[in-house]
Amino acid sequence: MMRARMRGLGDSRSPRSATVLELLFDIVYVFALARLAGRVADDLTIVRHTLLSEAGQTLLFFTAMWMIWSLNALLASTYDPRRVDLQVVLLATMFGTLVLAVSLPQAFGQRGVIFAATYVIIQVGRPLYLSLALRGHPGRAFAIRVLTWHVVSGGLWISGGISGGLGRGVFWSLALAVELIGASTNWPLPRFGREPISSTVTVSQEHLAERYNQFFMIALAEVVLEAGAAVSFPGFSFERTVTLVAAFVATVSFWRIYFYHVGPGRHATSSPTGDGIRLSRWASYSLLFIVGGIICTAVGFGQVIEDPHPPIDWALVVIIFGGPVLFLLGRSYLEEATPAAPHCRMLSIGALALAVAAVPTVFLPPVAVAGAAALILAVIAVLDGQAHQRGSATNPTL
């Protein structure tokens, strides 16, 4: 019976639109993003000589969680996620992601083994199933390559979970480096080659673009959640109200720039054809910056609402202005540059303007810093719109 259910996976095709189960999968990441935002907030309140190490841990967790999401998005954009077997894979990954999110606060403490074991089960289990289900299909070689790389990184994850202390950080950093190198080089393996998955199956570019846009909206909601939750308990005051307005302006600016920015030579709609795996890798790294920037922005505004009184901490200034900078850089490179359609420089110039403006704001009250960042971001959105004479909203052209 199991073999009957596996049969035909390689011949299935992903639908043009994301499924409801995929939306449910993404909603689980709302909780995961909230846990990551909580870690960033904690990083701002600890002793400064440990700030970099704590921030490094948060970056490691964020990248690891992103690897899980991006590979599952690629899976659902390659094969039909309406199949029962793939739905089981997605549901299992969803539960594993929930366990990871719960383990995040103590992942470098008592829950290190739980975090590492859960992560390895997710990352090894997915390609292991595909290797079994795709017997006799050309796509099996790609699944075996991915499986091999994740088995190697899995050993490092487990070693880190067992060792603890400094060794945990070293092992986990090496494990994540192995996965990133594998993803960037198409998981090469002797005798199995290094050809992309698109050489054997079709990756739906349109489905993938919808998943990325869907996840962006979920991440954007984190700004509203953080600011709204911070205001709810103490109530309104002049400083908190101003910061809440600034957070809303930043949210609208993010939305406008993401969905309305069209680089030179680009069309208003994304093409459903093309090398999906290559575009997936390019867009994945870009959206990593975009979502990371949104989380930083959400935490920054939330911290100002909780404590709007001067003086402001330099690290908080970095978070408030660094978030939009990461977002603009990620959005600028979301569309691949070609000789016929070079990168638009408007967003890069805006990122530079934010970086320069951040320096003198260390002498301003926290509320003024949040307002200045939101205002500059809004100006960038307006200027970007005027530069391209854009009309209706458009999904980013993956």
Please write the tens of the pLDDT for every residue from 215-269.
898 888 888 888 888 888 777 888 889 999 999 999 999 999 998 886 544 443 3
Is residue 189 classed as helix, strand or coil in its secondary structure? strand
| Per-residue pLDDT at 271 | 40
Predicted confidence at residue 279, as pLDDT, reads 59
pLDDT band with cut points at 50, 70 and 90 for residue 276 = low
Q: Flag the least confident range among 126-135, 156-165, 206-215, 369-378.
A: 206-215
Q: Which residues lie closer than 8 Å to 222 by C-beta, 6 or more apart?
A: 30, 33, 34, 37, 294, 295, 298
Among 174-178, 346-350, 383-387, the least confident range: 383-387
Q: What are phi and psi of 242, to 5 degrees?
A: -60, -45
Q: What is the mean pLDDT of residues 121-131?
A: 95
> Which residue reads 């499924």 in tokens?
19
Least confident interval from 8-17, 22-31, 91-100: 8-17
345/268 Cα distance (integer angstroms): 18
Give the other-Cβ count within 10 Å of 120's Cβ.
Answer: 21
Length reported for the chain: 398
- Given this model, what pLDDT does residue 45 score? 64
Integer Cα distance of 48 and 85 in angstroms: 48
pTM equals 0.84
Q: Write out the two tokens for 216.
A: 């962006």
Averaged over 71-96, what is the pLDDT? Answer: 92
Closest CA to 304 of 225, 201, 227: 227
Q: Tell me the pLDDT tens digit for each residue of 200-210.
A: 777 888 888 88
**118 has pLDDT over 90:** yes
> How do residues 384-396 score in pLDDT, each as one tens digit?
888 766 555 555 5
Query: Is residue 319 a contact partner of residue 300, using CB atoms and an 8 Å limit?
Result: yes
pLDDT band at 152 (very low <50, low <70, confident <90, very high): very high
The whole-number average pLDDT for the span 127-142 is: 89
Which of 67, 88, 117 is CA-nearest to residue 2? Answer: 88
**pLDDT for 34:** 82
Which residues lie closer than 8 Å to 66 by C-beta, 6 or more apart?
A: 284, 288, 291
pLDDT above 90 as % of the chain: 42
- Please give the average per-residue pLDDT across 365-389, as a whole number: 90
CA-based nearest residue to 381, from 242, 250, 269: 250
Q: Which of 44, 51, 35, 42 is nearest to 320 (CA)?
A: 44
Q: Are 246 and 301 in contact (CB under 8 A)?
A: yes
Residue 338 pLDDT class (50, 70, 90 cuts): very low
Average pLDDT, the chain: 83
Q: Examine residue 234 and say whether the peptide bond preceding it is cis (omega within 30 degrees of 0).
A: no
Per residue, the 3-state secondary structure of 323-387, as one string, reads HHHHHHHHHHCCCCCECCECCCCHHHHHHHHHHHHHCHHHHCCHHHHHHHHHHHHHHHHHHHHHH
What is the structure's pLDDT at 274? 44
Between the alpha carbon of residue 240 and those of residues 41, 187, 229, 309, 319, the distances in Å are: 17, 49, 12, 10, 18
Would you say residue 106 has pLDDT above 90?
A: no
- At residue 245, the pLDDT reads 94
Least confident residue range of 47-51, 153-157, 229-233 = 47-51
